Each structure stands twice: as C-alpha cells, then as structure tokens.
Amino acid sequence: MTRFTADVYQNEFLALGATDVDAVVTVTATDATPVAVAAPTAAAEIVIVDASGSMVSPFGKLKAAKQATAAAIDAIRDGVAFGVISGTEEARAVFPLDGTLAPASDHTRARAKAAVANILPSGGTAIGTWLTLAHRLFEGTPAGLRHAVLLTDGQNQHETVEELEQALAECQGHFQCDCRGVGTDWEVAELRRIASTLLGSVDIIARPEDMVADFQATIERAMARGTPDVALRLWTPQGAKLGFVKQVAPAIQDLTDRAVPVDALSADFPTGAWGNESRDYHVNVRVAAREVGDEVLAGRLSLVVDGRLVTQALIRAVWTDEPGLSTRISREVAHYTGQAELAEVIQEGLEARRAGDERAATFKLGRAVQLATAGGNDGTLKLLRRVVEIDDPQSGTVRLSGTVDEVDEMSLDTRSTKTVRVHDTGP
Amino acid sequence: MTGDVALRCPACGAPVLVDDNFCEACGTAVLAPAKRVAARRVEVDLAVAAAVSEQGRSHSRNEDAFHIERVGAEGVVVVVCDGISSSSSGDAAARAAAAAAAAVLVAAVGNGGDLAAATGAAVLAARAAVQHVPATRRAALALPSCTLVSAAWRDGMLVVGWVGDSRAYWLGADEARQLTVDDSWAAEQVAEGRLSAEEAFADRRAHAITRWVGADSVDAPQVTTLAPSQAGRLVLCTDGLWNTAPAPGELVALVAGLDANATPASVAHHLADAAMAAGSRDDVTVAVIDIEGGEGAQP
C-alpha cells in the first residue's frame, strides 16, 4: 500500500492588512507496489503512433518510430491490457483488430510488433480522433490504471481546434497520456495542451534514434505507478478566494482550472497515478484580513486515494505588526515563484522571437537567463545558451543568436516547464 | 526555416524540392525513383521476406496496403491488397483487409492448421473487416473494397490465394510463371476463348475487375498450392507493378541484372524502381519471399 506524506513550507506571518497566503506543499509517496506487478489486469496501456504521410520523410523517421513503438510494446508487462493505434486524419486500431485490448504475453507482443512493422503512412493528422479511439478502447477494460503514450511529427491540421477540445474534454479524467513530438514540424503549445489536460508529460525527441530509449522509459515509468488515481483536496475557509494551485516540481503545471467542487468550501484537483515519487505544489489563497495576533487556517490540503482522505497539510495565516516576521519570504515559495516566472518568460521570449520582436525577445530571454542562473536550472541554462549569447548571467544581459537550430528552440520551449527542486539546490 | 529538401541535383548540386521534377538551378531532370525513395516509399524488411510500397504520382494517398510477418523459425505470411479507387475509402479497405487476413494466416501457420482452408478463412475475415470500414469519403461511390493476394509458407508448402487482379509470380532458377489468374474482364475473355490475350488487353475494359473483397462480392478466393523443389522467389504485387511488366519473363529480365544472392528487400526495391522508371502513375506494392528448395518435392 502506498504511503503519502505532505509537508508544508510557508511564512505564515502576514503584515497588517495583507491577504495573500502562499505555501509550498511537498507530497511524497513511498512503498508503492506497481499496479502492473501487483495486479496486471488493473493496468492498461495504449501506444498511439502517428502514421500520417509526413512520417515517410525524411527516410528513417518512420523506421525509428516503429522501432520505438516496438520497444514500448516490449516494456509492457505480462497481463497488462494493451493495444496499438495508428493515427492519420482518422484513428485505426492496428492491434488488436477487434476493438478490444489484449493481455500482454510473448505471443500478443509479437503480433502487435508485426502489425506496427506493417503500418503504411498516408494522409493527415487529427489527434482528437486518436484520443477518442483510445478512450473507447480503455472504456472496454476494467483497468484502473490507464495510460497512453502518443508520438507525432506534425501539427493537428485535419480537424478544428474545437474538435480537438471536444475530444480532450471527453477523455479528461479517463486516462493519462504522455506526448512526444519528433522532428520540428509539430506545435509545442498544442502537444502541451493535450499532455497537460491528460495529466501527462510533453517532450521533444530531437533525434529519431533517441525514440527507443524515450518510449521505453515512458512506459516503464507508467508501469511503475502504484496508485492509479490520486487527487489533491483543498479546503479553504468561507470568504476566502483561491488564487491558484500549481504543481511546481518536477514540472510546472497549473491545476487551478481543473478544480472539481466537492462542497461549498472544498475542491478536488486530479493528479493522476503515482509511483514512488515526490511532487511540489504551490498554493495561493486570499483570505480576509484580521487583527494583529489573529490566526486562521487559510487552507487544508489533503490527498484523496480511492475515495479516502489519507494525509493532510495545514496552511496557516498569522497577522503581525513585526515587519521582521512578515517581510521574510519562505525560501521554497520564493524559489518556485522564480521557477514559474522562468517558464513564463522563456515561452514569451520565444514567442516574441518568432514574431520578430527582438527587443521583447532579448528582454524576456535575458530575464530567463537571470532566473535560471539564480535558481540553479543548469539544464535550462544550457538550452538558453543555444538561443542567446550571454554577456552577464547575473544581470541577464544577453544578445539574440543570429542563427538558431529549430530543434534547440523547440527543446527550450518544450522543457521550459521543467523545474529544479528547492531542496536539491543548496544546503 | 528551410524547405523540405530531399535531394540535390545530380548535375549541379543545387537543392531540389521534393515535389519538383527539375532542378531549379540548371533545369536537369531529376531521376524520379531516387527522389521518391526519400519521399514516398515505405519498406518492411524481414530478411527472408520484404515488402515495399510507394504512393503513385497520380494518387493523393497510397491505396495499396500490405502485411508481412514471420511465424516461428521458417514460416512467412504475406498479404498484399489494392484499394479500389472507384470505391470510397479504398485505402482504409486495403489496410483493414491486409491486417485481418494476415491475422488468420499467421495463426494457421503457427498452429499447423490447413493453409488452404485458412486462406479461405482469411478472405472471409478480410471481407468482414472491410465491411466495418465506414464509407465516409465521397459517399456516392461504390462500397469500400479492395483486391487481395496472400501467400502462406510453411514446411516446404506454399499456398497462394487471391481475389481480384493483384498477382503472385514464382521466379525459380529454371522457370518463371504467374501463379494467379486475374479476376478481370480481360482474363475472363481469354479464359472463355472469346478473345486473344492481345485483343483482350487492348480493350479499355481490360482492367475492370470482376471479383473483389467487399460487402458486395463473392466470399471465396481462388487458391493454388505449390511445393517448390528448387530455390526461388515468390513475388506478390499490385497492378502498379505488373501493368509495366505483365509477363513472368519480363520480371525475370528485370531482376536478371541483380546478384543471384540479392536480398528480398533489394529485389523488391529494384522492381518498384523499374515500375516507376517505366512511368507507372499508380501505387506500386511489391513483396518478395526467398524460398529454399525442398527435398524431392515437385513444383
């Protein structure tokens, strides 16, 4: 049985008249036995591979995608229900053929890999139809842990934004989906939207030869999850207003809009399946100001596992007239505020660069360099160096690079939401 | 951002765009097959068997489909289908039929089942799968349908089945022959003695097929069985290939230049190249299986 703990980091002291309460809550899961090991039939996996005509070129992309899909299939544990979908402007179940999912075995894995080898790319890209088919296939299984991995090389050109949104709305909460873009013709914002709605990650696979390792790792991570369905439950006092709930590590994901009301004062925020891992959340609540010395509970964060509340963390507010107490900012809150701004300025900076607004791009990306330096985001800094020439990292003085490899730009964009954890950054 | 440059002009080295026939710099005609290898051809290479499929210049989508699979140490299953252009969703029909038929044949090869019976069952499965293909595109056209040619190889026994005009050829060391008889207007005229082959194929109705896999066609394939005594190659193809080289001897001539030990993949690519070079505008699909000769068996 997975055990969850929650730790709160905050400065609970507010100046007189202040209303904003910020806290970082670290949630840690331990002792998870992977569902795929404990009860394979409780897990289902679907691999969705782009089979649009563009996969044929450049020569080798398709072959690499097929190899990656085969590696993913090999990573599915015995007994787990699985299937493979090939996607064009419509979706097709290439394995099994009968509209179900098959229990994984040496025989079914071999059949699935043969089917994948024979995929002939043709036609366009309508990702909503792929997700809709995956949803339908998942609905036919009793499995509680439902995970898909989606590989695409292109933009969603053969359906409208509304069609995709409708498909996403229908799939949301029914399965998780990690998205991977290969090459540079896909749209980062589009895949990010799909992945974040379906509680998955998004990443670029810059080189086709890296697909195998990535797909394998993605499936293995999914298979290692021990608790299929976990939600954060946040209680806030009457009259309080929720500012935001954001996952801030391992990657930034705003959960605010996902709130499912439980009662007048509580809402659930789905977080998907958990393995042995730790995630940080930043909660911002606005409460009514009180008198000096008053203390209120500004929020109570608990976890809902299988419909039961398992742990809780208290977010407090105490009003003080001692500036020495109220002006101190929690190190955790400060760190993740910086991390969130970092992701934002990278995305805005790249957007400005694409739009030809060099001034805005230089300013935003300069700020990104400054934040990444302060936050210890070495990986992000490395990616930033491929887009800008850095004169002074501390002050964020940069010049835009003349020529930028598209892969580098997309890698920076895709990975802008990856954060470093506050407790790993220093003593 | 650069465009999708697939290759460079052989004469001057300037980049040539994928969909152009001529070099933008010097006007040199760029070899079509080499260009399309990069842009439109798909291959599956299983060493003892291989298949390639290339979308035709006049098609917006590849309406051919295939499925090749090894079964155990020795067995091989190949299915090639050609979606019928006048039907709606011919491409989807071909893909569905190839996958469904292959599933039945793979099971039979794997569990020792009767391959001729399985070939009949495979066509039934293909037909059922095609019936589930929605006729969404251009709904006014005929129901989704396709041709099908299959080969199942196990223990020195080769069973070939077909519906329509996709073909199988045996290219042996001493003899080459066509194993299939087209379900087509021309083939029927010849079979019934009404016209000579030359007259029949000159008619504009020549290629109209008389049987197909779909909701509105017959259920049973034609089936032929052989037990090759000598090593050879089995070639399965759609009319995109055989329209340019219909006689078995012509196919033999096309691969004569290749090394005797050429792999199935290189033979398949070579035949597809030849079809493209001969001006085929149709989708071309070629599957090749290397067959070891059996001991004492008769062809």
pLDDT-derived band at B36, boundaries 50, 70, 90: very low
ipTM, 2 dp: 0.72
What pLDDT does residue B216 have? 83
CA distance A127 to chain B (A): 18
Q: At what angle do helices B264-277 and B32-39 cross, to 10 degrees?
A: 120
Partner-chain residue, chosen from B38, B44, B62, that has the shortest CB–CB distance to A117: B44
* Mean pLDDT, residues B12-18: 58
* Interchain pair A114, B100: CB under 8 A: no
The kind and range of the H/E element at B148 are strand B145-154
Pair type for strands A241-249 and A13-15? unpaired
Kindly report the CA angle at B195 between B190 and B197, in degrees rounded to 5?
A: 60
Kindly report the CA angle at A175 between A48 and A283, in degrees rounded to 5?
A: 125
What pLDDT does residue B61 have? 78
Classified as helix, coil or strand, A107 is helix
What residues contact residue A73 under an 8 Å CB cut-off, 6+ apart? Answer: A47, A82, A84, A109, A112, A113, A116
DSSP E strands in A112-251: the ranges are 145-152, 176-182, 202-205, 227-235, 241-249
What residues contact residue A276 under an 8 Å CB cut-off, 6+ apart? Answer: A2, A29, A30, A31, A32, A224, A226
Partner-chain residue, chosen from A94, A123, A406, that has the shortest CB–CB distance to B99: A94
* Mean pLDDT, residues A257-279: 94
Lowest mean pLDDT among A30-44, A116-130, A391-405: A30-44
Please say whether the beta carbons of A87 and A49 come within 8 A: yes
* Mean pLDDT, residues B241-269: 88
Radius of gyration of chain A (CA): 23
pLDDT-derived band at A236, boundaries 50, 70, 90: very high
What pLDDT does residue B264 have? 95
For the stretch A76-134, pLDDT in tens is 999 999 999 999 988 999 999 999 999 999 999 999 999 999 998 888 899 999 999 99
Range with top average pLDDT, A60-64, B21-25, B37-41, B74-78: B74-78
Q: Is the pLDDT of residue B26 over 80?
A: no
What is the CB neighbour count within 10 angstroms for residue B136? 11
Question: What percentage of chain A has pLDDT greater than the value 70?
Answer: 99
What pLDDT does residue A219 have? 92
Partner-chain residue, chosen from A58, A94, A120, that has the shortest CB–CB distance to B42: A120
- On chain B, the residues whose CB falls within 8 A of the CB of A52 are none
What is the CB neighbour count within 10 angstroms for residue A308? 8
Is A57 in CB contact (< 8 Å) with chain B? yes
Partner-chain residue, chosen from B39, B53, B92, that has the shortest CB–CB distance to A57: B39
Is A183 in CB contact (< 8 Å) with chain B? no
Residue A2: Cβ-neighbour burial (10 angstroms; 0-12, 13-18, 19+): middle
Report the residue of chain B nearest A123, measured CA to CA.
B61
What pLDDT does residue B12 have? 64
User: What φ, ψ does residue A269 adopt, rounded to 5°?
Assistant: -125, 105
Q: Is the pLDDT of residue B138 over 80?
A: no
**Interface with A, mutate which of B4, B37, B63, B69 (most A CBs under 10 A):** B69
How far from A180 is each of A53, A190, A206, CA to CA, in Å? 18, 11, 10
More confident residue, B31 or A402: A402
More confident residue, B116 or B37: B116
What residues contact residue B141 under an 8 Å CB cut-off, 6+ apart? Answer: B86, B87, B88, B135
* Interchain pair A122, B61: CB under 8 A: yes
* Interchain pair A120, B68: CB under 8 A: no
For the stretch B196-248, pLDDT in tens is 888 888 888 888 899 999 988 877 999 999 999 889 999 999 999 998 888 88
For the stretch A281-293, pLDDT in tens is 999 999 999 999 8
Q: Is the pLDDT of residue A198 over 70?
A: yes
pLDDT-derived band at B132, boundaries 50, 70, 90: confident
Q: Which of A121, A86, A84 is nearest to B65 (CA)?
A: A121
pLDDT-derived band at A21, boundaries 50, 70, 90: very high
- On chain B, the residues whose CB falls within 8 A of the CB of A62 are 42
Q: Is the pLDDT of residue B274 over 80?
A: yes
Return the structure tokens found at B208.
Answer: 């109209």
For the stretch A307-356, pLDDT in tens is 899 998 999 999 999 888 998 889 999 999 999 999 999 999 999 999 99
Q: Is the pLDDT of residue B152 over 90?
A: yes
Q: Is the pLDDT of residue A266 over 90?
A: yes
pLDDT-derived band at A424, boundaries 50, 70, 90: low
Mean of all residue pLDDT scores within chain A: 92
* Mean pLDDT, residues B269-290: 91
Return the structure tokens found at A284.
Answer: 């911002």
Backbone torsion region of residue A99, taken as left when φ is above 0, otherwise alpha when ψ lies between -120 and 50, otherwise beta: left
What pLDDT does residue B85 have? 72
Q: Is the pLDDT of residue A166 over 90?
A: yes
Lowest mean pLDDT among A4-13, A309-318, B10-19, B281-290: B10-19
* Interchain pair A123, B67: CB under 8 A: no
Is A121 in CB contact (< 8 Å) with chain B? yes
